[in-house]
């Protein structure tokens, strides 16, 4: 289908492609000068005088950020029930317990009243998720953390370029984790990073991302802990450097497209639209809760009909308690009504920088036809 419109597509220019070829020709393709340059430029972009360390993928970055936060077996970490599975899976991998709480239907952010009620003597950290590029209520999150002496590990996988009250996510706060997966606003194909303020914790993070090794000036090394391997490659960093040049441009285009969706869908006749946010919203995704009916009773039917019209719809995400792993932990249906409704009904509409505003109009018209609502 030549004019098929997927829900996302990366934008990689020829200059970036050539820079990757140059890295391949150089003979230094794993962690090297390009990674160092990417980390510096990204830290400069975020501002705030932070330390920035890159990772092979965001899942590893998130897990090691929890280690830095002191999460140990038997601890608890508060996590929203509506997020990608990795957010909670990494907690389990450390032998800790993800304590799930519901989210707001439109912002997808943690319900802070429920988060406060979930704090126990075992709680070690809280993990706000900036889902779809909209910043969580960080004032409330950090106030709760301060009250109970908790660490904050921000899952900013979808929030590169997002701002909160005029400050870029990652320019402040405790431990902030980004993803650069292929579908993110900035991609390194696969990749992630942690932004943090403490020099000693940064040193620990460096050992955690590469076998627990500390290198000495005489060329020898020591292994101080049984760590894994998460180092980014120079090939990936070259892609990231090319992407970083266009990030603000990409995010502006995403906002323009999202605002057009809101113009066309804001009456909510076709479904519940997400919270608008402000200019700090980076609009990683635009999700809709369609108004299903007898003519179009469910998501499966809608996706099939849209696909037949040349438009792809994604699903982001199922609620965590809808997975057998978390059901086996004792979480049950009905505990998180907002997250569960999102998980069962939501569709992700096409949104990527190469789209035109006319594509948004095409999506709206197709939705109306497929839902048979005019």
Residue 237: how many CB atoms within 10 A of its CB? 28
Catalytic position from the list 184, 229, 252, 300: 184
Distances (CA, A) of 34 to 39, 43, 50: 9, 14, 19
- The bridge status of strand 167-168 relative to strand 163-164 is antiparallel
184 has catalytic annotation: yes
Owner of token pair 């990795």: 86
Q: How many angstroms separate the CA atoms of 338 and 151, rounded?
A: 26
DSSP state of 216: -
- The bridge status of strand 175-179 relative to strand 151-156 is parallel
Owner of token pair 């040349």: 310
3-state secondary structure of 38: helix
Evaluate whether 292 touches 298 at the Cβ level (below 8 Å): yes
Q: State the distance between the two ends of the chain, measured CA to CA, in whole angstroms.
A: 25
Evaluate whether 3 touches 310 at the Cβ level (below 8 Å): yes
CB environment 250-288: b (16+ within 10 A), e (fewer)? bbebbbebbbbbeebbeeeebbbbbeebeebbbbbbbbb
Q: Mind telling me the catalytic residues? A: 184
């Amino acid at each position: 289908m030549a004019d098929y419109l997927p829900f996302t597509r990366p934008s990689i220019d020829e200059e970036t492609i050539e820079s990757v070829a140059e890295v391949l020709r150089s003979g230094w393709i794993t962690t090297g000068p390009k990674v160092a340059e990417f980390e510096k430029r990204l830290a400069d972009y975020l501002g705030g005088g932070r330390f920035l360390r890159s990772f092979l993928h965001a899942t590893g970055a998130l897990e090691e950020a929890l280690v830095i936060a002191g999460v140990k077996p038997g601890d608890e970490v508060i996590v929203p029930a509506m997020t990608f599975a990795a957010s909670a899976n990494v907690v389990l991998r450390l032998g800790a317990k993800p304590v799930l709480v519901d989210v707001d239907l439109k912002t997808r952010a943690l319900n802070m009243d429920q988060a406060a009620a979930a704090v126990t003597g075992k709680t070690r950290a809280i993990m706000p998720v900036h889902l779809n590029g909209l910043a969580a209520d960080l004032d409330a999150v950090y106030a709760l953390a301060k009250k109970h002496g908790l660490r904050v590990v921000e899952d900013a996988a979808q929030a590169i370029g997002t701002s909160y009250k005029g400050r870029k996510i990652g320019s402040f706060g405790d431990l902030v984790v980004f993803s650069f997966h292929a579908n993110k606003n900035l991609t390194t194909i696969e990749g992630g990073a942690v932004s943090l303020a403490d020099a000693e914790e940064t040193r620990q993070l460096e050992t955690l991302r590469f076998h627990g090794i500390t290198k000495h000036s005489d060329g020898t090394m020591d292994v101080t802990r049984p760590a894994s391997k998460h180092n980014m490659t120079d090939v990936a960093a070259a892609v990231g450097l090319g992407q970083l040049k266009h990030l603000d441009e990409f995010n502006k285009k995403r906002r323009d497209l999202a605002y057009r969706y809101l113009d066309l869908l804001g009456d909510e006749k076709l479904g519940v639209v997400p919270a608008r946010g402000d200019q700090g919203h980076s609009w990683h995704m635009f999700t809709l809760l369609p108004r299903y009916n007898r003519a179009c009773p469910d998501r499966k039917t809608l996706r099939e009909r849209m696909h037949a019209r040349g438009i792809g719809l994604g699903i982001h995400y199922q609620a965590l308690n809808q997975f057998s792993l978390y059901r086996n932990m004792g979480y049950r249906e009905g505990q998180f009504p907002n997250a569960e409704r999102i998980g069962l009904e939501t569709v992700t509409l096409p949104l990527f920088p190469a789209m035109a505003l006319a594509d948004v109009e095409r999506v709206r018209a197709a939705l109306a036809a497929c839902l048979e609502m005019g």
